[in-house]
Amino acid sequence: MDLYHTWFYQSVLNTSWFVKTIVVVTVTLNITSPIILWFIFRGRTVFGKGGIVSDMFTGMGALYQRSRGKSPQKNRGRSSAKTGSKRG
């Protein structure tokens, strides 16, 4: 059987759109695979509590508070002032 003379090779495999699709998929996987592996090895999720997207919105909220003249609360429920206890 001669592969190069079959209808499948001439009409599908040897077309420009098929070759361009293979090239685009290969380049996309080569660019995104390190990013995907980085997320997997870090153990963080992209969405959800503690994820990248929620961290982005948390940071934006802090920027919004700063622009309105308020200081963002980093230590909620904890007092940053010293209690005044004396040592010694």
Can you tell me the mean pLDDT for 16-39?
A: 93
Return d(Cα 88, Cα 75) in angstroms, integer: 28
Residue labelled with tokens 């209690």: 83
Closest CA to 19 of 29, 4, 9: 9
The whole-number pLDDT of residue 40 equals 79
Within 8 A by CB and 6+ apart from 61, the residues are 72
The structure's pTM equals: 0.47
pLDDT at residue 17 greater than cutoff 60: yes
The whole-number pLDDT of residue 6 equals 95
